[in-house]
Structure formats: structure tokens, C-alpha cells
Copies of this chain bind each other. A is one copy, B any other.
Amino acid sequence: MTEKKGRQTVLLYNRPKIIASAGVVGKKEGEGPLGKEFDRVFTDGRMNESSWEKAESALQKAAIDTALQKAKLEPEDADMLFAGDLLGQSIGTTFGVRSLGIPFAGLYGACSTMALSLGLAGIFVNCGAANRAVAATSSHFCSAERQFRLPLEYGGQRPPQAQWTATAAGAAIIEGDGHGPAIESMTFGRIRDYGVTDANNMGAAMAPAAADTISALLNETGQTATDFDLFVTGDLGAIGSKLLVDLLKEEHKIDLGSKHKDCGTMIYSIDEQDVNSGGSGCGCSASVICTHFMKKLLSGEINRMVFIGTGALMSTVSSQQGESIPTVAHAVVLRGV
């Protein structure tokens, strides 16, 4: 059974299970604090491909292939794929998954994509619209730089509040039965725009959207922060994370205490890896959730957590036209085994 609770939250009473997941990353992410947790570390950022965009596609496909292999499944065994990425017209995804032949719903949620795809896959399996669904996303530092900033060759300088787009991809396989962490609910975010125009400060732009969605989840389901072990955002970075905790306390009267973590501050050693405010990109939270946190949910170390994917929904065109940054955050509640 599926139930809408309030305006944003969908409760999944059949508790669809994440039966397998995988995170694959590039060299820099492999050298970070979570390096040993990822399923594969590709030391060649080009992935033997002729362009950064093709490399990103190969990375997303590698994540899906690895998750399927872990579940001992073939692409034909899945009947739905929810995926997207940061690139214009989502070519990281469409070229990455085209050979798989899985019925496909393309998403655009910027860095919130893993939460969006996981939630949609969970809802589909919960209500019988899919028997086995795949949720996936990717990002690549070099394709994102070309898409959003400047070609690498330009050697652009990055301000301290900037985040580093992770070269990473994550994928999860969801089905009704089977062993694995359960998806309890999905809270869809509303677009928030607080007028931030600095495309180098996306953590600050996205923090209000994360606060809004966390507040909706708790209010609509009558829960409090104490009902969860962790609130994991992806990816606010160091500056956005501080803002989120303050905003929740001041505007929403919600105290996360020490329960907040952010994938963007976890994937790199911020002090040593020169990533300024931390990691970002769809693949950052996707790879961290699909490895590090899935293991903790599987081992029982985490009983219940909220994964809040946050996305900045601007483009270079909108920024060049002087527009502010609309943002969105989606929250998936995951329950350990």
C-alpha cells in the first residue's frame, strides 16, 4: 500500500528493498577518506573514452553493471530505470544506459537526482508499477567543468565557497522482497529560490530547500529528529551544511544535534585535497549513499536515516542572464536491516 501523507510525503508500507547497490569513482575520490569503500576506483578519468562526456557515460554504466552483478542479475531482469545527470540533455545518462534496454524514465534533478531516482523507484516497486527498478546517476569533474564553468585548459580559479564536482556514479536495485535496506517514504521537495545568484555558492542556495523538505517530512509524518539516527545531505558542502543546521534551528525549530552529515564533506579530505567547501555533483551523494551508508544500513549500525538529495536547478544560460538559483531537495527515509 502507498499513502500520501500531507502534501509532499509518500509512505511506502510494502517497504521495497534495496537488494544491491554500487558506487564507482575516479582517482581523486579513491584517494579520499572513503576510498576503500567504493566498488571500483578508476585511475584513468577518461575511462579509455575519447571525451569527458563519454567517460561519464561509461562511469554511470559501470555503476549500474556493478550493482546488477552484485545482485546476480542481467539488465533484462530489471523492468524500470530512473536516471539522470548534470549535463545538458542528460547525455551522461542517455549514452550510458542506451545499451541496457531497460524501460527508461529520464530525470533532471541536478545533484538531487539520486534521491529522486531512489524515491521514484521505491514508489514504483511499492505500488506494483515495477517489479525490479534501477535508480542511478553520475557526475564527472571534467564534463561538469566544461558544462558549467570553463574548459579545464583555462585553469580557472575557484573561490573558497565553491564545491568540487565528484567524478563518481551510484546505482541501486530495488525490488519488493529480498534482503536489504528498506525505503520507508519519499518526500518530494518544492522548488525554493532565496535569490542567491553566486553559482559558486550552491551550498548556500540549496540549504533552504533541504530545510524545507526535512521540515515537511517531520511535520507531515509526525516524527521528530530523535526518530532518526542520521540526516545525510548530498551535497551542501561545509558552508551549506552549517547553514542548514542553523536554518532548521532558527526557522523550523528543528534541532538535528550531531545527527547531520553531508556526503560533500565526507568524500574528500577538505583540508588536504584542495576542494574548498567540499564535493558536489549527482555522483557524489550517489556513490557515498550506495556504498558507505548502505553498508551501515546492512550491518544494522544505522537503524533509520534520511537521505536528502539537494539540487541547484540553474544553468550557465540562466546565470549569465542574471537569474538567481532555484533549488530543490528530496528526502528518502531508509531503514536498516
Q: With a CB–CB cut-off of 8 A, which chain B residues contact A323?
A: 95
Closest to A124 in B: B123
A170-224 interface with B by 8 A CB criterion: 188-191, 193
Asked if A118 is at the interface (CB within 8 A of a chain B CB), the reply is: no
* Complex contact B328–A106 (CB within 8 A): yes
* Complex contact A7–B103 (CB within 8 A): yes
Closest to A119 in B: B105
* Complex contact B108–A84 (CB within 8 A): yes
A53, B318: Cα distance in complex, Å? 8
* Complex contact B102–A190 (CB within 8 A): yes
- Say whether, besides A127-B128, A129-B2, A188-B104, A317 and B87 are in contact (CB < 8 Å): yes
Asked if A35 is at the interface (CB within 8 A of a chain B CB), the reply is: no
Count residues on chain A whose CB falls below 8 Å from chain B CBs: 61
Asked if A269 is at the interface (CB within 8 A of a chain B CB), the reply is: no
A228, B135: Cα distance in complex, Å? 33
* Complex contact B88–A315 (CB within 8 A): yes
A145 CB to closest chain B CB, in angstroms? 13
Asked if A273 is at the interface (CB within 8 A of a chain B CB), the reply is: no
- Say whether, besides A190-B104, A313-B94, A79 and B110 are in contact (CB < 8 Å): no
Top 5 closest pairs, chain A to chain B, by CB:
A88-B88, A127-B127, A89-B315, A103-B188, A94-B313
